[in-house]
Every structure is written in C-alpha cells, then in structure tokens.
C-alpha cells in the first residue's frame, strides 16, 4: 500500500501574501501541492498561478534542469552538454580566478533578485560574490528603489509599514498604485473585503480591486503628486489637518502649507483627470480617520516616482495618521525591521576586501556590452532577459562570445539559453529555509518535502561548493543553512525551533497588531517626520516634494503601463503549459476612443513602436484604461522573440537609479 503523508511549507515567491502550503506525498514523492486550510492568509487556496505551476512545471522532470550544462554551440544556439558538478565548478572557478588575477573581481557582474525570497537562498550566495569583490547589479533598481529612497527622506525608513491586523481599527483604507487583485490575490479576496473601513483605490487602471472599492480615483499616470497636493488642499480647507501632531512630530508644515493654496480640487482635476468631486470625497473619507495608506509599487515606477511617493506619503503625516491603531503608511514590511531578523549577516558584507561596487539595472546592458568593464556575468534568482529594460541591447551584450556567463535557475530560461554554464537550482520544495510575507508580520517555515530533482542543488550549496573550488577558506562560506536559519529564527521568534515552526507552517510575530512609531521617534536626521528635508535638498531634489504632473504624451503617443500579470510571477511560470493556456495570446488594451482614432478593432494584431523597439500584440479594447493609456502585462517569456521590455529604454526615475518602466511611451498602429 502506498505510504501517504503531508507536510506544511510556505510559499517564498516575491508576493505580499506569503501563503501556507500543504504538500501531499506518496512514497516520499510529491503528489500534490495545495493551500494550507489552517493558514490565516491562504485559507486552503493557493493563487491560481501557483496552484497550476507548483503542480505543473515545478514537478515536471522534463521542464526542470537536472544536471549542470556546458555550452557546446554558438552563444544562444541552445546547444549544451551535461557535465558533472566537479567539472563545471572546477572550470568556472578557473575562469573566475583568472579574472580576479587579471582585471579584478569587479569585472565579474552578478544580477540576482526575486526568483526565491526565502532568506538563505536569497542571501547566502552574496557571501561568495562579496569575497570575490564582484560588481552587484543593485536588485531594487529594477523594482522599487525610488520608493525606498523617497520614504527614507520622509519617515527615515521604508520598511516599517502598518500591520495589516490593524485594519479592524481603520475607518478608511487608501490603496494607491497597487493592484492586489493581481499582485496580492488573498489580500484582495479576504483582507480588503473583511476590513470594516471604506476602500479607496487610486490607479489609472480600473482593475478588479478598483472595481470592488467604494471609490476609485483614476489619475493619468505620473500625475499622483498633483493629486496628493489637491487632497491635502481639501484636508486643510475642511479642518482635517492635525496641527498639534505636525508641531510635535514633523518638520516643514509651515513651508508646505502655502504650496497647497493653488491646489484646489478643480486644479487637481485639470492636472490629473480625476473629477474634483471625487477628490473632495476621497479627502473626506481618508480625513475622517483613523486611516491606512497602502503605497503600492506601481506609482513609483514613473520618471518622477520619488517625488510622487514623497508627496503621497505626506497624507498620514498631515492628518496625524501615524503611531496609533488603524493608522499608518505601508510600502513594505521588512523582515529585519518588523521581525527583528538581521538579514545583512546572511550576505556577510564584511567578506569584501575592497569597496562595494554596484551598478543599477538601467545600466546593465551598457555595462555588459563593454569588455573593459565586464568579463563575466552571473545571473541567479533572476531572468534578466525577460525582466530588465533595454532588451535588444541586453540580449546583444549577452551574446558576447567573450562574456563568460553562468546562470543558476531551476529552468532553462531565456537568460540561461545565452549562458556558458547553466547550473540546476533545487526548488523551494526541496530544501529548508525561512520565508515570510512583506505585508503580514509573520514568519513561515519553508520545509523540504522531497529530495532535489536530478542533480539540482539549493543556491547555498552551489555557492558553498564554488567557494571550495576557488580555494576560499573563510568559514562563513561553508556555514550550514541550518545554522543561519536557527540564528534568524531566534531573533524573530525566540524559543521557537525550526521544527516547532514547521509543525504549524507560519507563526505571527507578536500576538497583537504592531503599532509602529507609537513613540513618535523617526529614524530621520531630525528624529521627526521630514516634510521638508535637508537631506533631499543636499542630494539635488527639492527641499519639499513638488505638486507636479508629467506632461501628457505628444499627439499620437500613448503611455504604456506594464504591471503584474495575474497568471505569472514576474517571468516565472511562463514555461508552464497550463499557465500558457490561461494567458492566451499576448495583448495590449486600449480605450475605445484610442482604438477608434487609429481605425483599430478588438482582435487586430497591432504594432507598438518607439525609439527603443517594436512589438506585435493582439488588441483588446476596454474602458478599464483612460484615453491615452495602453496596458500590457509584464514578463512573458521571449521564446526567441521579445516582450514588453523591448520597448523599455531603461529610463531612470528621479531617485535611487530606479526604473521608470511605467513611463514608457509608444505609438500603436495596425500590424503590417
Ligand atoms: N516591463 C516591466 N518589467 C518589469 C516589471 C514591470 O512591472 N514591468 N517588474 C519589475 C520587477 S518589480 C521585478 S521584481 C523584476 C523581477 O524580475 P526577476 O527577478 O527576473 O523575476 P523572474 O522573472 O520571476 O525570474 C526569477 C528567476 O528565478 C528562478 N528561480 C526560482 N527559484 C529559484 C531558486 O531557488 N534558485 C534560483 N537560482 N533561481 C530560482 C525562476 O525560475 C526565474 O527564472 O522584473 C521587473 N521587470
Ligand atoms: N501575480 C503576480 N503577483 C506579483 C507579481 C507578478 O508578476 N505577478 N510581482 C511581484 C512583484 S516583484 C512586485 S514588485 C509586486 C508589484 O505589485 P504592485 O505593487 O501591485 O505593482 P505593479 O504591478 O507594478 O502596479 C500596480 C498598479 O500600479 C498602477 N500604476 C502604474 N502607474 C501608475 C501611476 O502613475 N499612478 C498610480 N496611482 N498607479 C500607477 C498600475 O496601473 C497597476 O495597476 O507584485 C508582486 N506580486
Ligand atoms: S505567489 Fe503569493 S498568492 Fe500565490 S501562493 Fe505564493 S504567496 Fe500565495
Ligand atoms: Mo518587484
């Protein structure tokens, strides 16, 4: 008779939800991956994409990489031969040693991000690259760095948001530039509907969360700072400014207030497209308080994204919505800042012998195209061919025969296809780690449910072995996963063993909702909320945020938004047959007026074009986008072609060398 059992584990994807998982096994093999019915977030159901892919491509020996592969044909030809780990690591170590002895470790560039967000698999490989002195592609520059920098100016930190448990105390929840219906499916399904307060969504797209809200404001992309100033104008006019709070805990209200004078609701309507009456209603709902502000990642992916987040983030300060139940501003809840872990130690920056060297993602293609700056490229936990800007230039750089390229991934991605060596990574179902949401303040055990498929290995083990092949003798480079897990667990949940955590799956950190900044101490230079910031001024920004809105696209052009798809996790799952069926043909959505003006009808094959590139997509027509805006999901696999990042020039936003990927403009016409 088949021996059946099940274990609990935690989803480590780059996701707000951090779901609990039950893995059913038969004879020690994984039979089925399901949502944990006892988990407070997943409540028995994974999101649609994981329910398919975790039971599809992730368990499929024909999809997974099973052995190290060495290139045999021309770059990108897809011709590889399997080799042993010993051969692969000895050869890679030899190549890296020659580079370290020649141009230096900084000529090795490594890009990594969110393939898995469990703490050892995310952090440990950095130890190796720190010891080597490699150049890091600063991960957050492709995602959310502008928002980080902006919030640090205002509050001193971007990683201590409200605790979602405090929603029960809020009279309103303002969700700004985020699409939970795609990017946080369980927050959309349970957390928002169950919260008693009014829901307001600010998004150019009328997505499912916007549709379900009490009020949806639909500003033109890049106009949110103007909208925030108009809201503050109304709050002041209606006596909702908490001057006592501002005097005690903030700097710069006196400088900001005169700037609000011209920003009437009518001015707001003219600058953002949001009806003046809706601006007034939103200010009243939010101003009644206590209120929560969820700042998503979409609104800062704009050319002036830093200024936008600074402006929007003033709403809680001006209304005193900080440091009390039902109040606060959330961008991300860091695992260190809100759970006490010391994740810096997992990466061991002290192993660096020289200065830290980094570039931003917007500069990656140019850096890799230049043999004087780059001799080798490592890509792990990331699929840059699909996710990074400047796709054509990046693919050309990756085709350099003399760029020694190593990709570590569970799957043969578009990036892996261009490598000299592809190293097979074990999946999260095949090793122990710690995982946690960046929304809910909890911690989950990622529990090994099966042996790694084929000869694949967890990230940490791959880099332990590579460090050995290099002859590095620092003990940190051989530290076990379990030692790291135990140390971090003791910081977050003292007295809890990994086995204790594994038995329940996820534990909350703290029994009650945490109220951050209840002491009104802010880690800014002044210790107060800095509405006016000398640090920002010194860095070349305004002392105060500005009530600006981006100019509308020139005649004939449309603003292209490329946010998260509900059926993909970034590019992950793009190789799953079930997911491909859900995705259908790649499409772009236009407002009916824009389609008509171009003589286009739904179902047409259209070409999106700008100075950076062109892409052919199927047209859909819907009023969910305002006129002037085109919408297409991010991160499809290229499969020899291109995705939306072929149109993305890699423009940097105003802060943090960060991406302005929602600021791309295109022309749309019928495909030839
Ligand atoms: N146009 C446009 N571009 C975007 C965005 C957008 O909104 N629009 N979003 C941007 C954002 S927010 C982000 S975060 C980036 C994300 O971009 P990436 O970080 O590149 O994310 P993925 O495309 O999912 O690639 C992650 C890879 O890691 C692999 N992986 C999974 N688990 C493991 C593991 O345990 N070990 C190893 N070694 N690999 C593993 C997966 O198979 C996958 O190939 O994309 C950015 N690009
Ligand atoms: N299903 C799924 N879930 C995911 C991901 C995924 O790829 N798929 N990716 C994960 C990752 S890496 C991240 S960073 C998060 C990101 O998830 P979110 O924080 O939701 O960010 P985005 O998907 O980029 O965009 C969210 C919204 O921002 C809006 N937006 C664009 N420009 C503007 C603007 O100028 N103003 C305003 N107000 N809104 C604007 C878009 O219309 C979109 O609806 O999701 C994570 N979760
Ligand atoms: S990706 Fe997010 S929603 Fe889907 S199972 Fe994982 S944590 Fe849950
Ligand atoms: Mo991201």
Of the candidates 274, 333, 310, 262, the residue with the CA atom closest to the CA atom of residue 16: 333
Residues 6+ away with beta carbon under 8 Å from 555 = none
pLDDT band at 28 (very low <50, low <70, confident <90, very high): confident
Instruction: Flag whether 147 is in a domain.
Output: no
Q: Are residues 179 and 317 in the same domain?
A: yes
Instruction: Flag whether 507 is in a domain.
Output: no
SS3 433: strand
Instruction: Flag whether 545 is in a domain.
Output: no
Residue 2: pLDDT above 90?
A: no
Residues 426, 454 contacting (CB under 8 angstroms): no
pLDDT band at 1 (very low <50, low <70, confident <90, very high): low
CATH of the domain at 580: 2.40.40.20
Q: Which residue's CA lies nearest to atom 5 of ligand 3?
A: 46
Q: What is the pLDDT of residue 72?
A: 98
Q: What confidence tens digit (pLDDT) does each residue in 355-410 have?
A: 999 999 999 999 999 999 999 999 999 999 999 999 999 999 999 999 999 999 99
Q: Are residues 531 and 490 in the same domain?
A: no
Q: What percent of the chain has pLDDT over 90?
A: 99
Residue among 177, 550, 567, 570 to mutate when testing ligand 2 (max atoms within 8 A of CB): 177
Q: What is the pLDDT of residue 640?
A: 79
Nearest ligand to the CA of 634 is 1
Residues 381, 462 contacting (CB under 8 angstroms): no
Measured from the CB, is residue 204 less than 6 Å from ligand 2? yes
The whole-model pTM stands at 0.98
Q: Are residues 366 and 271 in the same domain?
A: no
Q: Are residues 563 and 463 in the same domain?
A: no
Residues 6+ away with beta carbon under 8 Å from 56 = 63, 576, 577, 578, 579
Give the Cα separation of 310 and 291 in Å (integer). 18
Residue 433: pLDDT above 80?
A: yes
Give mean pLDDT, residues 231-254.
Answer: 98
Residue 557: pLDDT above 80?
A: yes
* Domain tally, the chain: 4
Residue 186: pLDDT above 90?
A: yes
Instruction: Flag whether 46 is in a domain.
Output: yes
CATH of the domain at 415: 3.40.50.740
Q: What confidence tens digit (pLDDT) does each residue in 458-467 have?
A: 999 999 999 9
Q: Are residues 80 and 55 in the same domain?
A: no
Give the Cα separation of 123 and 105 in Å (integer). 19
Measured from the CB, is residue 140 less than 6 Å from ligand 1? no
Residues 442, 125 contacting (CB under 8 angstroms): no
Residue among 47, 183, 625 to mutate when testing ligand 2 (max atoms within 8 A of CB): 183
pLDDT band at 639 (very low <50, low <70, confident <90, very high): confident
Residues 362, 141 contacting (CB under 8 angstroms): yes
Q: What is the pLDDT of residue 410?
A: 98
Instruction: Flag whether 308 is in a domain.
Output: yes
> What element of type H or E holds 43?
none
CATH of the domain at 36: 3.30.200.210
Give mean pLDDT, residues 350-354.
Answer: 96
Q: What confidence tens digit (pLDDT) does each residue in 254-269 have?
A: 999 999 999 999 999 9
Q: What confidence tens digit (pLDDT) does each residue in 54-71 have?
A: 999 999 999 999 999 999
Instruction: Flag whether 570 is in a domain.
Output: yes
Residue 289: pLDDT above 70?
A: yes
Instruction: Flag whether 156 is in a domain.
Output: no
Give mean pLDDT, residues 533-544.
Answer: 98
Q: Are residues 363 and 478 in the same domain?
A: yes
Give mean pLDDT, residues 9-18.
Answer: 98
Q: What is the pLDDT of residue 180?
A: 98
Q: Which residues pair with 423 in a beta bridge?
A: 408
Question: For the chain, how many residues are written?
Answer: 672
The CA-CA-CA angle for residues 198, 200, 204, to 5°, reads: 165
Residue 132: pLDDT above 80?
A: yes
Residue 106: pLDDT above 90?
A: yes
Range of the domain at 36: 4-59
Tell me the pLDDT of the chain averaged across its residues: 97
Q: Are residues 248 and 185 in the same domain?
A: yes
Q: Are residues 373 and 427 in the same domain?
A: yes
Give the Cα separation of 580 and 520 in Å (integer). 49
SS3 261: coil
Q: What is the pLDDT of residue 359?
A: 98
CATH of the domain at 217: 3.40.228.10
Q: Are residues 497 and 382 in the same domain?
A: yes
Q: How far is the CA of 20 from the centre of ligand 3 (A)?
A: 9
Q: Are residues 172 and 237 in the same domain?
A: yes
Residues 6+ away with beta carbon under 8 Å from 539 = none
Q: Are residues 178 and 281 in the same domain?
A: yes
Measured from the CB, is residue 562 less than 6 Å from ligand 2? no
Q: Are residues 419 and 299 in the same domain?
A: no
Q: Which residue's CA lies nearest to atom 17 of ligand 2?
A: 183
DSSP state of 554: P
């Amino acid at each position: 008779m088949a021996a059946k059992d099940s274990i609990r584990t935690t989803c480590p994807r780059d996701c707000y939800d951090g779901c609990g998982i039950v893995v059913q096994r038969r004879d020690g093999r994984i039979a089925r991956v399901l949502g944990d019915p006892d988990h407070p977030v997943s409540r028995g159901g994974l999101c649609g994409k994981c329910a398919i892919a975790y039971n599809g491509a992730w368990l499929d020996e024909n999809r997974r990489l099973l052995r190290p592969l060495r290139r045999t044909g021309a770059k990108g030809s897809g011709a590889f031969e399997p080799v042993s780990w010993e051969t692969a690591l000895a050869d890679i170590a030899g190549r890296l040693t020659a580079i370290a002895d020649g141009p230096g470790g900084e000529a090795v560039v490594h890009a990594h991000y969110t393939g898995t967000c469990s703490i050892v698999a995310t952090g440990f490989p950095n130890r190796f690259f720190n010891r080597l002195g490699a150049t890091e592609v600063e991960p957050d520059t492709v995602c959310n760095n502008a928002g980080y920098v902006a919030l640090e100016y205002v509050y001193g930190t971007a990683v201590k948001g409200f605790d979602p448990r405090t929603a029960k105390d809020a009279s309103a929840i303002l969700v700004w530039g985020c699409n939970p219906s795609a990017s946080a499916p369980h927050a959309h399904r349970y957390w928002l509907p169950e919260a008693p307060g009014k829901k307001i969504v600010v998004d150019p797209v009328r997505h499912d969360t916007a549709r379900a809200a009490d009020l949806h404001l639909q500003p033109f992309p890049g106009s949110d700072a103007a909208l925030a100033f108009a809201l503050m104008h109304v709050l002041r006019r209606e006596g909702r400014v908490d001057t006592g709070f501002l005097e005690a805990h903030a700097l710069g209200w006196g400088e900001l207030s005169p700037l609000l004078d011209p920003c009437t609701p009518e001015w707001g309507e003219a600058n953002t497209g949001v009806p003046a009456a809706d601006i007034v209603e939103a200010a009243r709902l939010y101003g009644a308080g206590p209120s929560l502000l969820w700042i998503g990642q979409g609104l800062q992916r704009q050319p002036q994204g830093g200024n936008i987040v600074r402006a929007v983030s003033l709403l809680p300060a001006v209304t005193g919505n900080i440091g009390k139940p039902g109040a606060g501003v959330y961008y991300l809840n860091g695992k260190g800042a809100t759970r006490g872990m010391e994740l810096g130690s997992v990466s061991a920056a002290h192993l660096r012998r020289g200065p830290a060297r980094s570039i931003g993602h917007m500069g990656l293609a140019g850096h890799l195209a230049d043999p004087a700056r780059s001799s080798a490229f490592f890509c792990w936990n990331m699929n840059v061919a699909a996710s990074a800007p400047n796709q054509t230039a990046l693919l050309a750089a990756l085709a350099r025969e003399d760029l020694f390229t190593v990709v570590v991934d569970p799957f043969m991605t578009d990036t892996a296809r261009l490598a000299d060596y592809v190293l097979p990574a074990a999946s999260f179902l095949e090793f122990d780690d710690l995982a946690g949401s960046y929304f809910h303040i909890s911690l989950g055990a990622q529990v090994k449910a099966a042996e790694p498929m084929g000869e694949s290995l967890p990230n940490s083990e791959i880099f332990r072995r590579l460090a050995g092949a290099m002859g590095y003798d620092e003990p940190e480079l051989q530290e076990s996963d379990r030692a790291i897990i135990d140390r971090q667990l003791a910081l977050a949940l003292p007295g809890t063993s990994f086995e204790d955590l594994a038995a329940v799956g996820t534990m909350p950190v703290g029994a009650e909702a945490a109220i951050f900044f209840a002491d009104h101490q802010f880690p800014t230079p002044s210790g107060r909320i800095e509405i006016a910031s000398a640090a920002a001024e010194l860095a070349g920004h305004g002392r105060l945020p500005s009530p600006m809105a981006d100019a509308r696209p020139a005649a004939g052009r449309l603003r292209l938004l490329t946010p998260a798809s509900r059926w993909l996790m970034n590019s992950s799952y793009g190789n799953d047959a079930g997911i491909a069926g859900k995705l259908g043909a790649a499409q772009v959505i236009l407002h009916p007026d824009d389609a008509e003006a171009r003589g286009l009808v739904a179902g047409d094959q259209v070409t999106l074009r700008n100075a950076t590139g062109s892409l052919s997509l199927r047209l859909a027509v819907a009023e969910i986008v305002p006129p002037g805006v085109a919408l297409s999901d991010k991160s499809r696999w290229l499969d020899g072609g291109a995705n939306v990042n072929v149109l993305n020039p890699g423009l940097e936003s105003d802060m943090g060398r960060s991406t302005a990927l929602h600021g791309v403009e295109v022309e749309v016409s019928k495909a030839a």
